[in-house]
Amino acid sequence: MADPLRKNRIVLTYDDYAVLPNDRNRYEILEGDLIVTPSPTTNHQRVSRNLGFILFSHIKKNISGELLYAPMDVILDESTVVQPDIIFILKENLHILSKRGVDGAPDLLIEIMSPSTVKYDRLSKKQLYARYGVRWFWIVDPDEKKVEEYEREGESYTPVAERSEKDSFTPGIFPELTIDLSEVWA
């Protein structure tokens, strides 16, 4: 039996999203539903900066594409607008960049866990990213000091690697890069 509340629900679009207030909250639309989360924690931001610096240095050296950081709109369709923590687009796919953000599926999306985003990042967003064609997806957990790497197969993700604390990590999308994870948590 259909849920009567879902039948009459309001489905938000990018146009609705574009007029939301700038109040330090992070807004996203997941299949028409508005998701609001507070600003990331200090530890989250340190991990984002450290990992971003490692990736940026590698990408710049290899001229392999574009690395972007939150807040940046990734518009997977008009009713699904997300703000992943780190976004990577291969050079051959840079046509998906537009004035309003990233219009389409990037090659890699990275979500850094915060207490307020765990449910969405691990479940809803992971499923959406696979469905919309994001080839690589990482979940970075600053508290557990762990990185999980997934690669898209069909419309879902297959786990590729899980590394923690002081391990080294060679990502599938960057096979010539080895990341010393202790530098990410520093």
- What is the structure's pLDDT at 117? 81
Please indicate, yes or no, if residue 11 is contained in any of the structural domains: no
Question: What integer pLDDT is reported at residue 50 of this predicted model?
Answer: 98
In a domain, 33, yes or no: no
Give the pLDDT score at 1: 43
Q: Give the start-end residues of each E strand in 31-129.
A: 33-37, 65-69, 74-77, 80-82, 86-90, 97-98, 101-103, 108-112
Q: The CATH number of the domain where 127 resides is what?
A: 3.90.1570.10
Residue 31 lies in a domain: no
Looking at the chain, how many residues does it have? 186
Q: How many structural domains is the chain composed of?
A: 1
User: What gap in Å lies between CA 114 and CA 72, rounded to an integer?
Assistant: 18
- CA–CA separation, 139 and 52 (whole Å): 14
Q: What is the span of the domain harbouring residue 166?
A: 39-185
pLDDT of residue 7: 67
Surface-to-core class of residue 17, CB atoms within 10 Å of its CB (0-12 exposed, 13-18 middle, 19+ buried): middle
Would you state the pLDDT for residue 3? 54
Residues (pLDDT < 70) of the chain are 1-7
